[in-house]
Amino acid sequence: FLEIMSSLFEVVVLTASTEIYAGHVMNMLDPNNTLIHHRLFRQHCVPLCGTFVKDLRLLGRPMNSICLVDNSPVCLAVNPNNAILCSSYFGSQNDQELIDLMPILQQIRMVSSRTDDTIPRYLNERYGFAGFLNSQRNAYFELVELQRAAQAQMERDAQDV
Q: Decide if pLDDT at 9 tops 70.
A: yes
| C-alpha to C-alpha distance for 71 and 130, rounded to whole angstroms | 16
In this structure, are residues 82 and 119 in contact, taking their beta carbons and an 8 Å threshold? Answer: yes
Q: Which of 20, 19, 1, 21 is nearest to 11 (CA)?
A: 1
Is 102 a residue whose pLDDT tops 90?
yes
Is the pLDDT at 135 greater than 90? The verdict is: no
Question: Which contiguous run of DSSP H or E holds residue 89?
Answer: none
Q: Which pLDDT band, with edges at 50, 70 and 90, does 114 fall under? A: low
pTM for the whole structure: 0.74
pLDDT of residue 161: 73
76 contacts 129 by C-beta, under 8 angstroms: yes
Please tell me the predicted confidence (pLDDT) of residue 115. Answer: 60
144 or 12: which carries more pLDDT confidence? 12
Strand partners, 38: 12
